[in-house]
């Protein structure tokens, strides 16, 4: 039997690397390797052609406003390919600036609009001050078997994002999409957009595994991922969660979600 392989396309690592996205890749790579799955990472740089059909998983990280505008232009010709892939359940993980790029536009404080990829019906507008800090959410996982349903990380964004899709989760503590509706991120089929970094995956191994599973399913493999020893990951997860929620709320959340 040939080794199972997942082909990950890392979009513009030279521009979108603001919040340590290589950490997310290191996590996916190691967790795949421990299950004898080869995660092959291809950086797609400015000027390279993107063949969406060559990949099982795409990663779009965060960057500055200037860098986002460059990436938006660069990806515009691939909009239709990306849209078709999303409808066919291709997993894409988009974080911070990458998340904002998925929508129709990202409006800056000066009124200028950076056009998005229009992959989802979503818009991002300016607000007063940046939304910064540790964040914990309740993962509204669809068809997930995970026992653990909290996600923790850090957020740092000026834009306020609005959409009507299912959110990635409900905010337990922090700001989320727009600081108003207590929702964070977006999930449409296997597309995940979120403001959470830290990076996202090291302290959230259940989410990392979900993404690996989406990629395997997209490739036509439906076997289960075997469980790993994630003691350190969960210790780090719960240390942040407890500190963030306070002992009382943490105890309640833990009873309900963990």
Partner 1 sequence: MSMAEWASTDFEAMRVIKKWKSRLALWVGQITLYVLRLIGRRGTSLPGFLAYRLSPDLLFNLLTQLDTCVFVTGTNGKTTTSALLYSILSDEKNLWLTNKDGANLMQGLLAAFLPHVTATGRLGLRKAILEVDEATLPRITERFHPTMVVVTNVVRDQLDRYGEVDQALAMLRQGISYPGIQLITNADDPLAASLGIERELTSFYGMDEVLQDTQTRNEVRDGAFCLMCGQEIEYSHTIYGQFGHYHCPNGDFTRPTPDYGGILRANDASLIVRWRKRNTEVEQFAVPSPVIGLYNYYNLLAAVATACTLGISTRKIVEAVTVYEAPLGRMQVYAGTPERILALIKNPAGANSVLRTIETDSRAKAVCFAINDADADGRDVSWLWDIDLESFLATAVCDRYFCAGHRALDMALRLLYAGVQRKQIEILDALSDVVKATESLDVPVYVLSTYTALYPLGTYLREASR
Positions marked active-site: 96, 197
Residues 137-156 close enough to bind partner 1 by CB under 8 A: 154, 156
Task: Find the helix packing angle between 21-33 and 205-219, rounded to 10°.
Answer: 70
Q: Looking at 4, 22, 42, 83, which residue binds partner 1 (CB under 8 A)?
A: 22
Q: Looking at 98, 116, 159, 198, which residue binds partner 1 (CB under 8 A)?
A: 198
Residue 68 near residue 102 (C-beta atoms within 8 A): no
Residue 196 near partner 1 by CB under 8 A: no
Single out the segment in contact with partner 1 by CB under 8 A; choices: 22-30, 34-42, 121-129, 187-195: 22-30
Residue 242 near partner 1 by CB under 8 A: no
Q: Which residues face 183 on adjacent strands?
A: 170
Residue 20 near partner 1 by CB under 8 A: yes
Shortest distance, position 252 Cβ to partner 1, whole Å = 23
Nearer to partner 1, 184 or 233 (CB): 233
- Do the strands 169-173 and 160-163 form a parallel or antiparallel pair, or are they unpaired? unpaired
Residue 30 near partner 1 by CB under 8 A: yes
Residue 14 near residue 74 (C-beta atoms within 8 A): no
Residue 202 near partner 1 by CB under 8 A: yes
Place of tokens 């991922």: 225
Shortest distance, position 213 Cβ to partner 1, whole Å = 20
Shortest distance, position 211 Cβ to partner 1, whole Å = 16
Single out the segment in contact with partner 1 by CB under 8 A; choices: 3-11, 58-66, 159-167, 170-178: 58-66
Residues 87-126 close enough to bind partner 1 by CB under 8 A: none
Shortest distance, position 176 Cβ to partner 1, whole Å = 17
Q: Looking at 34, 46, 76, 84, which residue binds partner 1 (CB under 8 A)?
A: 46
Shortest distance, position 172 Cβ to partner 1, whole Å = 18
Residue 197 near partner 1 by CB under 8 A: yes
Chain residues in the site for partner 1 (CB under 8 A): 14-15, 17-20, 22-23, 26-27, 30, 46, 64-66, 70, 130, 132-134, 154, 156, 158, 197-199, 202-203, 232-233, 235-236, 239
């Amino acid at each position: 039997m040939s080794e199972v392989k997942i082909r990950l396309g890392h979009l513009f690592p030279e521009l979108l690397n603001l919040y340590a996205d290589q950490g997310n890749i290191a996590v996916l790579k190691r967790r795949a390797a421990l299950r004898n799955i080869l995660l092959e990472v291809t950086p797609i740089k400015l000027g390279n052609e993107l063949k969406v059909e060559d990949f099982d998983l795409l990663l779009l990280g965060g960057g500055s406003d200037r860098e986002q505008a460059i990436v938006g232009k660069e990806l515009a010709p691939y909009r239709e390919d990306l849209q078709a892939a999303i409808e066919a359940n291709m997993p894409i993980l988009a974080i911070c600036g990458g998340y904002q790029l998925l929508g129709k536009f990202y409006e800056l404080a000066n009124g200028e609009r950076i056009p998005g990829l229009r992959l989802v019906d979503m818009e991002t507008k300016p607000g007063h001050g940046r939304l910064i800090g540790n964040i914990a959410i309740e993962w509204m996982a669809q068809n997930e078997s995970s026992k653990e349903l909290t996600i923790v990380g850090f957020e740092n964004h000026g834009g306020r994002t609005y959409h009507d899709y299912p959110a990635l989760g409900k905010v337990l503590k922090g700001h989320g999409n727009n600081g108003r509706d207590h929702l964070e991120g977006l999930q449409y089929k296997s597309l995940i957009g979120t403001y959470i970094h830290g990076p996202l995956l090291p302290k959230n191994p259940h989410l990392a595994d979900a993404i690996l599973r989406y990629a395997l399913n997209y490739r036509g493999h439906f076997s289960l991922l075997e469980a790993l020893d994630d003691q350190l990951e969960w210790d780090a997860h719960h240390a942040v969660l407890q500190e963030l929620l306070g002992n009382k709320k943490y105890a309640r959340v833990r009873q309900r979600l963990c």
